Amino acid sequence: MGLLVARELEKAFGTRQILRGINLVVGESDRVGLVGANGSGKSTLVSLLTGELEPDHGTIERQGSLRALAQEPVLIGETVGDVADAAVSWHAELLATWQEALEEGDLDRAALLQGQLDDAGWEIAHKIDAVLNRVGAPDRSALVAKLSGGERRRVALAVALLGAPDVLVLDEPTNHLDAAAVEWLQGFLIGYRGAVLIVTHDRYLLEAVATRIVEIEGGVAITYEDCSYADYLVARAVRREVAERADSSRMAMIRAEAEWASRSPAARSTKQRARLQRLDELKQIDPLPRDASFSLDLRSGLSLGSTIVELHDVDKSYGDRALLRSFDLSLSPGDRLGILGANGAGKTTLLRLIQGEIQADKGQLLRGSRVVVGVLDQGRTGLSEGDTVFDAVAEGRDYVTLADRRVHVASLLERFLFPRDMFEQKVAGLSGGERARLLLVRLLLHGANVLLLDEPTNDLDLMTLRVLEEALLSFDGCVLVVTHDRAFLDRVCTGVLGFHGDAEVVRYADRTQFQRELQDREDAVRRASERPTAASKVARAPQRERRALERELAELPAVIERLEGELAQLEEDLSNPALWRGDEGLKLSARLGPLQAKIAATYARWEQVEGALG
């Protein structure tokens, strides 16, 4: 059964037709990866499916609940905690409905609702905090009005996941997440019970989660069934090869028909009108859309000299919080270093130090006299919202200099897949990927030999992402890049700077080595917490609290024994076949889940009190 069904969706913005007849079905437990070039209409389709936009034509049917992560999320609530608590209101409603069904004697309905509660869990408060923590959301007390764009996205992602909908729609969910959060999200989605529709440039995530790929091309949806991302790449190549052969045959037939039609009027007797009609029909068939592509050569040809960028014994803090302490770094020709770490660890701060935008508190920064720095920041700044696409590049000129050649701005824009009908479009109306592509044009014109890239892969389509990777692999300078994109890191970077927190930064050979070190440190912390020292035990339970905890500890075994006795009796009663001839069996079975949850919580409390007392 289709939980989300779209039929013949069409959508235009002004004279620009985005979707031309989209058909899509998302069924129970489907894992759909939505792909397509920047500007092809992926986010538009998501907005239509979620009801944020209305289609110009076509219908959408929605069954069950739906939650979405939009590109520009709206959060309702004063604090992060308010927003998160509201996201799980469905759980309180489910509990209330179950209780109501029991009281009304509707045992079939109660049994169904109990199964849903068993799946979701009878207690959910711990899950709220766990999800907020995993995605790197701010503290529960943080005011929504003061959140940054990245913080809003992380809270909105947590809200979508906590909503536990039948259909989860995620538009670029990895944007503004650190690498650890992306890994966790991947595992969450693999185990998710509902259906998932995901738009992402993260190829590892797409390969791990998606079982069906839907590509938006030419305003329509092309579906690749039972297909991972890797399978899709192969299937798409085969499909295009077949289509191109068919298109070549059609063009050959048109040429033959046109040649016949151009003969003298005597050759076009009445009985040949069918051939003329056939020629008209062949001409009406839309040609096969060509794959949009462009090349990007960021090589400047500028010599770097003996000194590129060096940091010696650098400290940087904000208030009482140290981000860098006694930090050393020396860049060598050909270095392409990925920068990894938790959000707020200091990754962007390091780029801003090297750029010269901020100053170190202590230490020395050396930058070679021949170094020209190019920057692509996370906020995609450097573009004026009121500028047109043409003006954003031209800056008052008709020609620009590129590799010692004068190039017309129109030609350069077309090379980067901006058609002439987009030249007068305002920057404010561009998609995130189109903005990124426009900034790549400006970066190309800048002619830098040291590139500082802060989350450059955000909002890029897969084709543009591959073009950027190829450009960086052949780049003749140095690159420092903050990114959570694991495939990008593995393919492009020659090393990794890992931020561990507490102002510690370590250089690693690759991402895998950094993650292995992170895991080793987490394991060591967990083992230490499982074997606390005598001093720490006393510190956890001050003397004035110990007596109350000791009394509670003495009482807990009896509580557990009583509860387990109730459970044993309940299970024995439920095993009696005679009980199920009437309604008594369903009534008793409704007590099973809450009782088991209470026993588990009591055991957890016992361990907590015992640990505090030592």
Is 90 exceeded by the pLDDT of residue 180?
no
The dihedral built from the CA positions of residue 472, 478, 484 and 488, taken in this order, carries a sign that is positive
Is 70 exceeded by the pLDDT of residue 98?
yes
Q: Ranked by mean pLDDT, which of 96-105, 248-257, 342-351 comes out on top? A: 342-351
Is residue 94 within 8 Å of 122, Cβ to Cβ? no
pLDDT digits (tens, 9 = 90+) for 378-397: 877 778 889 999 999 888 88
Residue 47, φ and ψ in degrees, nearest 5: -65, -35
Tell me how far apart the alpha carbons of residues 415 and 409 are, in angstroms, rounded to a whole number. 10
Tell me how far apart the alpha carbons of residues 480 and 337 are, in angstroms, rounded to a whole number. 5
pLDDT at 538: 44
Q: Where in the sequence of the chain do the CATH 1.10.287 domains occur?
A: 537-613
pLDDT at 599: 79
Comparing CA positions, the residue from 485, 477, 480, 479 lying closest to residue 458 is 485
Residues 435-462 have a mean pLDDT of: 87
Interhelix angle 592-613/107-120, nearest 10 degrees: 30
pLDDT at 293: 63
Query: CB under 8 Å to 215, separation ≥6 — which residues?
Result: 35, 36, 221, 222, 224, 232, 236
Q: Which CATH number fits domain 537-613: 2.40.50, 3.40.50, 1.10.287, 1.20.120?
A: 1.10.287
Which stretches does DSSP call E strand in 477-609? 478-482, 495-501, 504-508
pLDDT at 363: 95
Interhelix angle 89-104/107-120, nearest 10 degrees: 150
Residues 35-51 have a mean pLDDT of: 91
Q: Output 533 or 528, whichever has higher pLDDT.
A: 528
Return the DSSP state at 70. -
Is 60 exceeded by the pLDDT of residue 531?
yes
pLDDT digits (tens, 9 = 90+) for 191-212: 998 999 999 989 999 999 999 9
CATH 3.40.50.300 is held by the domain 309-524: yes
Comparing CA positions, the residue from 148, 230, 183 lying closest to residue 484 is 183
pLDDT at 127: 86
Residue 432 pLDDT class (50, 70, 90 cuts): confident
pLDDT at 335: 94
- Tokens 């074997």 — which residue? 531
- Tokens 């543009």 — which residue? 464
Query: CB under 8 Å to 108, separation ≥6 — which residues?
Result: 586
Tell me how far apart the alpha carbons of residues 356 and 351 are, in angstroms, rounded to a whole number. 9
Is 80 exceeded by the pLDDT of residue 35?
yes
Tell me how far apart the alpha carbons of residues 232 and 194 are, in angstroms, rounded to a whole number. 23
pLDDT digits (tens, 9 = 90+) for 473-504: 998 889 999 999 999 999 999 999 999 988 99
pLDDT at 245: 77
pLDDT digits (tens, 9 = 90+) for 539-572: 444 555 667 777 777 788 888 888 888 877 877 7
Tell me how far apart the alpha carbons of residues 119 and 115 are, in angstroms, rounded to a whole number. 6
Residue 248 pLDDT class (50, 70, 90 cuts): confident
Return the DSSP state at 138. P
pLDDT at 539: 47
Residue 446 pLDDT class (50, 70, 90 cuts): confident
Q: Where in the sequence of the chain do the CATH 3.40.50.300 domains occur?
A: 309-524
pLDDT at 32: 96
Tell me how far apart the alpha carbons of residues 68 and 520 are, in angstroms, rounded to a whole number. 35
pLDDT digits (tens, 9 = 90+) for 210-240: 999 999 998 999 999 988 888 888 888 888 7
pLDDT at 134: 92
- % of the chain at pLDDT higher than 90: 38
Both structure tokens of 70? 């939009």
| Mean of all residue pLDDT scores within the chain | 84
Q: Output 148 or 301, whichever has higher pLDDT.
A: 148
pLDDT digits (tens, 9 = 90+) for 571-589: 777 666 666 556 666 666 6
pLDDT at 534: 46
pLDDT at 19: 94
pLDDT at 278: 62
